[in-house]
Copies of this chain bind each other. A is one copy, B any other.
Amino acid sequence: MKKVVFVVIDGLGDRPLAEFNHQTPLEAAETPNLDKLAAGGISGAMDTVDVGVRPGSDTAHLALFGYDPAVYYTGRGPFEVAGLGMEVLPGDICFRANMGTVGKDLVVKDRRAGRIDDTGELVDLLNNSEIDGISFLLKKGVGHRVGLIMRGRGLSANITDCDPHAEGVKVHQAEAKDGTPEAVFTAKTLNKFLEMAHCKLSGLATNKEREKRGELAANYVLVRGAGTLPQITPFFDKYHLKAVCIAGGGLYKGIAKLIGMDAPEIKGATGKFDSDLDKKITAVLKLYSRYDFFFVHIKAADSYGEDGNCQGKKEFIEKIDRSLAPLFHLKDTLVVVTADHSTPCRLKAHSADDVPVVIYGQEIRDDDVEHFNERECAKGRLGHIKGTNLMPIIIDMMGMAELFGA
């Protein structure tokens, strides 16, 4: 059986830029390895979620793995908490959270509590609280970030954010988005917890000392992105491929874990500008005999796009290109390279522009595309596909697709 190396370059797509003579960073970059994949593979343009839809990183990745986000996506919470290593059970309501600072009137002073380093003591103080039969489970993430799960009977994720997403305004009360008793109860219980947490955190000796030193107290849990575990068929059951995630960013590991992929810690993979790409490819080679499907996620192209740094994006793409060279030594392996969405440097945000995709391997129907970029891949033989089309195409190329009919 063939194996698959599935490389997702986050935010890779862009728009033509004057400083690159009306080329995108990917078109302007020197990318001999990506071009070799295009020359020997089949290329296309892909709308990861749908035509004209601006994908989030979470919805885009669900689609890339063949799970329609319109069906399976409820909110970002479950992916984030899974990325922190929390176990998520059916019925759990999961949130992304920050430890933040509010004044006496509950007006947000700082959404990140002065970028507090370690929330361990705060999380221990609040973890396993119980209110009206509902457990509140917390785990610390990087810096000010925290994962929060509400666990118990009769909850709903259809509630609003408490994090006002801005400073200088009062924290919001959670509200039911619909009139169901579940949503009303969830919002009410969450509000009780946040009030209690604020009271406990405000009284904590460490916070009082921070205030004495003129620092910001981490006295409020700002929650957002309520969601439940998607009721999905695990990746292995769906495709019969043993899959591993090689990523630095927590969200991507969280998505991978929720669909049943292994997501080991990869040393040097940070999900940041300094991520060691060579170590990621080395990890593929090291794990090669143990898995069938290798999801390699590379983050920083997106971050350069969000910073509007087109030169940085171009150079990082060239760095990615160099790191891919060892993949050509793998026999009987499909190499897939694509993106989850475009992040145009001028827009500094995700856009709905389609992304290039290439599938490289033996005896597949290659095409006339010789360069891996937005303009050339759009002329490829895959045509315009959607994100949810990609896995079925790969599985069929591996000779593993089920017959529809007889």
Contacts and interface: CB of A to CB of B under 8 A. Distances in A.
A45 B401 CA distance: 20
B399 A349 contact: yes
Contacts of A395: 52
Nearest to A17: B363
Contacts of A225: 406
A interface: dominant SS: loop
A350 B402 CA distance: 10
B404 A56 contact: yes
B389 A45 contact: no
A80 to B, nearest CB: 9
B406 A365 contact: no
Contacts of A406: 56-58, 75-76, 225
A55 interface: yes
Given A59-B404, A352-B393, A364 B15 contact: yes
Given A58-B406, A364-B15, A392-B52, A381 B385 contact: no
A399 B308 CA distance: 14
A384 B380 CA distance: 11
Contacts of A333: none
Interface string A340-362: 00000011011111000000000
A49 B60 CA distance: 25
Interface in A368-386: 374-375, 378, 381, 383-386
A374 to B, nearest CB: 6
A352 B347 CA distance: 37
- Report copies per complex: 2
Nearest to A385: B51
User: Quick one: which of A24, A49, A365, A396 has the most chain B CB within 10 A?
Assistant: A365
Interface in A267-315: none
A125 interface: no
Nearest to A382: B384
Given A378-B383, A381-B45, A381-B378, A404 B54 contact: yes
A310 to B, nearest CB: 12
A367 interface: yes
A68 to B, nearest CB: 12
A71 interface: no
A175 interface: no
Interface string A53-84: 11111111000000001000101100000000
B401 A352 contact: yes
Interface in A30-47: 45
Nearest to A60: B405
Given A15-B364, A52-B396, A54-B396, 14 more contacts: A16-B365, A17-B363, A22-B366, A51-B386, A53-B401, A54-B404, A57-B405, A58-B406, A59-B405, A75-B406, A76-B406, A352-B396, A353-B365, A384-B384
Counting from the closest, the 4 A-B pairs by CB-CB distance are A56-B405, A52-B392, A59-B405, A352-B396
